[in-house]
């Protein structure tokens, strides 16, 4: 039994055939999925998804969508206020996806959006689900300063072992996904082989981050490849690995 600790079933890519996607996930042995937020206009869709007991949700404002988020507008609407209201309703198991992506530029705006969400995680006593590309050192420093009570998940971790170690020492879990199944991902293979059993979770980031050999849309059932590859790198059975990573996810999000 596996848990997909990070996916985006609430995106429009799954609007048409969500029931089939969920059925394939069940057949693949996935007992639970965590849907991460991206933009405020999908928060309601996420709440609809959460009516299914096999789906939990996180609400957040993703750094890729700076042009979509309505922040500091004169129109009297602020997506951060909307996020705070959604978190207040108690349905979300975490704040996120939020974070930093060096490739996207506009880092000042990204930091300000992230800092606001880290404060919300603290106020609402929730873990945080973080996207971090090329900013692991800066993010670690900020997380140390924030000392969030429930810590969180660095989803799709892609840094070095030293960066992994620092985040683990701060009490954060790392998300291991499809990127690790690609034959050339040598640094990531070494990191995954060395992680402690209680330091990581499995995820797909569907519809993105296809595992090796999958073209087109990614979906939760594809987590099987990631589980097999991680088990091979760590010299354990896929059953054992899926059990302890599911325990890690359950503990983090209090499922």
- The site for Zn ion (CB under 5 A) is made up of 97, 205
Shortest-Cβ-distance residue relative to Zn ion: 205
How far is Cα 208 from Cα 218, in angstroms, rounded to an integer?
6
Least distance (Å) from Zn ion to the CB of residue 128? 13
CB 115 within 8 A of CB 143: no
Least distance (Å) from Zn ion to the CB of residue 179? 12
155 assigned ligand-binding residue: yes
Alpha-carbon 139 to chain mean position: 15
CB atoms within 10 A of CB 255: 13
Residue closer to Zn ion, measured from CB, 101 or 197: 101
Q: What is the dihedral of CA 233, 236, 240, 246, to 10 degrees?
A: -20
20 assigned ligand-binding residue: no
Residue identified by tokens 């600790």 is 5
CB 37 within 8 A of CB 96: yes
Least distance (Å) from Zn ion to the CB of residue 8? 6
Residue closer to Zn ion, measured from CB, 75 or 139: 139
Residue closer to Zn ion, measured from CB, 173 or 239: 173
CB 122 within 8 A of CB 155: no
109 assigned ligand-binding residue: no
Least distance (Å) from Zn ion to the CB of residue 60? 10
35 assigned ligand-binding residue: no
Residue closer to Zn ion, measured from CB, 79 or 205: 205
For 92-158, the DSSP string reads -SEEEEEEEEGGG--HHHHHHHHHHHHHHHHHTT--EEEEEES-HHHHHHHHHHH--TT-EEEET--
Least distance (Å) from Zn ion to the CB of residue 235? 29
- Structure-block tokens of residue 109: 């705006």
Contacts of residue 144, Cβ cutoff 8 Å, sequence gap at least 6: 170
Least distance (Å) from Zn ion to the CB of residue 38? 7
Q: Which residues are annotated as a binding site for a divalent metal cation?
A: 6, 8, 97, 131, 155, 205
Q: Which residues are annotated as a binding site?
A: 6, 8, 97, 131, 155, 205
């Amino acid at each position: 039994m596996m848990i997909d600790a990070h996916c985006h079933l609430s995106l429009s890519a799954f609007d048409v055939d969500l029931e089939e996607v969920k059925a394939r996930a069940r057949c693949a042995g996935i007992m639970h999925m965590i849907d991460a937020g991206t933009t405020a206009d999908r928060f309601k869709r996420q709440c609809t998804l959460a009516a299914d007991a096999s789906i939990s949700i996180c609400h957040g404002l993703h750094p890729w969508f700076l042009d979509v988020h309505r922040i500091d507008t004169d129109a009297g609407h602020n997506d951060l206020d909307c996020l705070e209201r959604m978190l207040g309703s108690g349905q979300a198991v975490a704040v996120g996806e939020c974070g930093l992506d060096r490739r996207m530029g506009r880092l000042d705006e990204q930091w300000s959006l992230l800092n606001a969400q880290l404060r919300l995680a603290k106020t609402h006593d929730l873990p945080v689900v973080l996207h971090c590309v090329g900013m692991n050192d800066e993010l670690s420093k900020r997380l140390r300063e924030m000392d969030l009570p429930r810590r969180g998940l660095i989803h799709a971790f892609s840094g070095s072992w030293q960066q992994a170690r620092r985040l683990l020492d701060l009490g954060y879990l790392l998300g291991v996904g499809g990127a690790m199944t690609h034959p050339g991902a040598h640094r990531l293979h070494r990191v995954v082989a060395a992680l402690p059993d209680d330091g990581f979770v499995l995820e797909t980031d569907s519809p993105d981050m296809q595992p090796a050999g999958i073209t087109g849309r990614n979906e939760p059932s594809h987590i099987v490849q990631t589980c097999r590859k991680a088990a091979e790198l760590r010299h354990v059975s896929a059953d054992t690995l899926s059990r302890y990573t599911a325990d890690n996810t359950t503990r983090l999000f209090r499922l």
